[in-house]
Structure 1
Amino acid sequence: MGSPLLQAQIDIHAPVPQVWALISDLRRMPQWSPQCRAMLVLGRTRVGAKAINLNRRNKMFWPTTCTVTEIVPQRKLAFRVDLNAMVWSYELEPIEGGTRVVESRRAPEGFKTVPTLLVDKMMGGVPSFEQELVAGMNESLRRIKTAAER
């Protein structure tokens, strides 16, 4: 069984609107995420919008689809991965001198049997894969910070 919540955060020395512009453009997800190679939003980014993703880990590639579940402009963007029901979100908070960004992965519906078995067999098990996901979150946030502070 995995962790119901994975999370990372960073403080960025840029105003919320500038950081929001980077995060809310989901087509740019491959620039931030070390695992995401492509993210194609079908239509405009809005609650209910679908996206097709291509992910990579070492030599393994796999597609996923997701659904945008929440948009609070300049505050929160969330999407649900359709296969495993994991909800990924970015939350922005104004702080002195910039923006705090928290990236989270939640398991509101628990862990689905088939995706968990696939992670166990193909990705070295849930604990090590979750460690890799948190490392990826931290890398994503560092990349967003670098872009925002340019």
Structure 2
Amino acid sequence: MADTYEKLLEDSIEIAAPTDKVWSLVTDIPAMAKWSPQVVKSTVKGGIVKQGATFSNLNKQGIKRWPTGGKVIRFQPPAGATPGDFAFRIRENRTIWSFQLEPTEDGGTRLTERRETPDGVSGLSLLLTKVVLGGQQGFTDELRRGIRQTLERIKAEAEG
């Protein structure tokens, strides 16, 4: 089933920094290009990241570039022992990307990044992935590596 997509991609990392510091990094959508290997540039309409905020991205794969639009659908900052939850939906393919932040016993943060497809993936996105982006399996592998790289880069910045 090489042309089907995985409903959930997920990875986590332990960060030696408090949740509020990590929260300030993962909710800085314009800075995502520093961490995500697929994002070239992100611009938030109105400049403020909050519940309901919309943004535009320019993404890349090699020399290929394509625009997407997103909307923040969950914006729950961490508070004490309560985990933080930040999520946005990508308009073109209906995927939901999220970051969950859980405090650890040593004062650090367990950061989990997910890509979920609760409403499936749009037919156009599936077709474009197959024809332009190397097929589902290759693209999924690339996304999985990208999630890991994003988490490692956020960790480095938070601990730096």
Paired AA for residue 111 in structure 1? V
The answer as to 2:147 corresponding to 1:137 is yes
Structure 1 residue aligned with 2:23:
20
Aligned pair count reads: 150
Q: Identify which of 62, 71, 76 aligns with 2:75.
A: 71
Unaligned runs of 5+ in 2: 79-83
Structure-1 separation of matches of 2:51 and 2:158: 25
1:90 counterpart residue number: 99
* 1:11 matched to 2:49: no
Question: Could you say what secondary structure the match of 1:130 adopts?
Answer: helix
Task: Tell me whether 1:57 sits opposite 2:61 in the alignment.
Answer: yes
Instruction: Give the deviation of 1:127 after TM superposition.
Output: 1.2
For residues 39-60 of structure 1, what are the alpha-carbon distances to aligned partners after superposition, in whole Å with 9 as ceiling and x for unaligned? 1010221221110100111000
Which residue of structure 2 aligns with residue 109 of structure 1? Answer: 119
| CA-to-aligned-CA distance 1:20-72 (integer Å, 9 cap, x gap) | 11111111100110010111010221221110100111000111101111100
Report the residue type matching 1:85 in the other structure: R
Secondary structure at the counterpart of residue 3 of structure 1: coil
Deviation at 1:111, TM superposition (A): 2.1
Q: Which residue identity lines up with residue 148 of structure 2 in the other structure?
A: N
What is the aligned partner in structure 1 of residue 128 from structure 2? Answer: 118
Query: What is the RMSD computed on CA atoms of the aligned residues?
Result: 0.8
Amino acid in the other structure paired with 1:138: R
Query: Could you tell me which of 41, 44, 64 is aligned with 2:44?
Result: 41
Question: Which amino acid in structure 2 is aligned with residue 131 of structure 1?
Answer: D
Which amino acid is the alignment partner of residue 68 of structure 1? V
CA distance in 2, matches of 1:46, 1:93: 20
Name the SS of the counterpart of 2:11 in structure 1. strand
1:2 lines up with 2:12 in the alignment: no
Counterpart of 1:80 in structure 2 is 89
Superimposed CA distance per residue, residues 91-125 of structure 1 (whole angstroms, 9 cap, x where no aligned partner): 00001221000000000111211100000001111
1:100 aligns with 2:110: yes
TM-score normalised per structure 1? 0.97
